[in-house]
Amino acid sequence: MDDRIQVMCQDIQAMPELLSKEADVVIMNNVFQFFNEPAIQQQIWKFIRAETKKKPGLLLVTLPSLQEQLKEASLSANKLLKGWVKEVKLDYEGGWFQEINDDELDEIKQVHLYKVL
């Protein structure tokens, strides 16, 4: 799978082609709110939005939701998300999670999937 999956641990702003051309799926787990001041977070989110809009169909998997992360960055989620992404509703009732407890299911439900428009 090394030829299909890459884990990148770099400043995303130094790799615009990753978002605009190369990636099919981008996974972001608590990416900025604990590591950067709101002004830097705003800059990064605006960059991510601009670059990902160049690749319609790109999937973004986030934890927590984009709405929550943008709010943490003091950005208007409604304004930024409009015309950028559409959330894909995930099915948690399909029998996939029968073997886990409610706390674990609550954590899983914090994962969100978005498709770039």
Instruction: Tell me if 70 is assigned to some domain.
Output: yes
Instruction: Tell me if 10 is assigned to some domain.
Output: no
- Per residue in 61-90, pLDDT (tens digit) is 999 999 999 999 999 999 999 999 999 999
Instruction: Tell me if 43 is assigned to some domain.
Output: yes
Instruction: Tell me if 96 is assigned to some domain.
Output: no
Instruction: Tell me if 50 is assigned to some domain.
Output: yes
- Per residue in 19-47, pLDDT (tens digit) is 999 999 999 988 777 788 999 999 999 99
Overall pTM surpassing 0.85 (yes/no): yes
Instruction: Tell me if 56 is assigned to some domain.
Output: yes
- In whole angstroms, give the CA distance from residue 29 to residue 117: 21
pLDDT, residue 74, reads 94
Q: How many domains does the chain have?
A: 1
Structure tokens at 106: 């609550």
Domain that holds residue 46: 15-91+103-116
Instruction: Tell me if 7 is assigned to some domain.
Output: no
pLDDT, residue 49, reads 98
